[in-house]
Amino acid sequence: MIPKFPTTIVEAKIYQEGIAKKIILSDSFLKSSIVGAFDIAYKENTAFAAGVIYDCSTKSVIEEKVISDRVEFPYVPNYLFLREVPHFLTLLDRIVNIPDIMIIDGHGIAHPRTAGSASIFGIIANIPSIGVAKKPMKFFSYKETNQDNLDEVYLNQNRVGFRYKFEKKWNPIYISPGHKISFESSYNITKGLLTSKHKLPIPQQLAHLLAAKYKKTII
């Protein structure tokens, strides 16, 4: 059942602050061989949420699903969870193979209120989640690490994730723990799913393409 979400920005801010207090930043899973990814595309007032469930041991897709539904909340920066997470939860209800880890297209704790879409999804669904975003937030600052193409991401002097480029030819991605997962596992699991073909981890790239494909079916 999809929970009731805030309907105003004031309510949403309070909601996010409450969610942030519940986030667990330690590994709360026994295995990570099945990884899912949810992405979303929009066309006018319709959202297309796509999910791909990927078996890391066999390097194969074991399930994919797409849903479409009306968008109920306008685009407001920093409150994208109101547009995205309800559709991701509906999509999760249609998934047969529940993954060990879920990658959400968006930010986890790398958010001004420490609770982006990946964290909110993880809390509600009770699934370890990672936020992998294609673009940074303007509030980010960075510190170099001793690894090539890897920087730590900071918000208000607190570490909240990583900026990483698997290949120099790609723009970086922004990795942050969502819920029930550590910084290190968020980075390592994501990195393990990257190839030189795309900047996104494999299941997320496939979900991104799947959402885009179905978006084109609406005239």
**pLDDT at res. 215:** 85
Predicted confidence (pLDDT) per residue in 34-62, tens digit: 999 999 999 888 999 999 999 999 999 99
Q: Quote the CA–CA distance of 10 and 93 in Å, as a whole number.
A: 29
Q: Quote the CA–CA distance of 33 and 186 in Å, as a whole number.
A: 14
Q: Quote the CA–CA distance of 28 and 22 in Å, as a whole number.
A: 14
Average pLDDT, the chain: 93
Q: Quote the CA–CA distance of 72 and 88 in Å, as a whole number.
A: 14
Tokens of 36: 């899912």
Inside any domain, residue 83: yes
Specify the amino acid at residue 192.
Answer: G
Q: pLDDT over 90 for what percent of the chain?
A: 81
Q: Quote the CA–CA distance of 35 and 109 in Å, as a whole number.
A: 19
Say if CB 128 and CB 180 are below 8 A apart. yes
- Residue 38 β-bridge partners: 51, 104
Inside any domain, residue 2: no
Inside any domain, residue 92: yes
Inside any domain, residue 52: yes
Predicted confidence (pLDDT) per residue in 120-152, tens digit: 999 999 999 999 999 998 889 999 999 889 999
Predicted confidence (pLDDT) per residue in 52-105, tens digit: 999 999 999 999 999 999 998 888 888 999 999 999 999 999 999 999 999 999
Using the 8-state DSSP alphabet, how is residue 2 labeled? P
Residue-level length of the chain: 219
Inside any domain, residue 34: yes
**pLDDT at res. 64:** 97
Inside any domain, residue 128: yes
Query: CATH number, domain at 130?
Result: 3.30.2170.10
**pLDDT at res. 1:** 60
pTM, two decimal places: 0.94
Q: Which helix (H) or strand (E) holds 207?
A: helix 202-215
Identify which of 177, 169, 175, 163 has the alpha carbon closest to the alpha carbon of residue 201: 175
Q: How many domains does the chain have?
A: 1
Inside any domain, residue 162: yes
Q: How confident is the model at residue 219 (pLDDT cuts 50, 70, 90)?
A: low
Range of the domain at 175: 9-215
Inside any domain, residue 122: yes
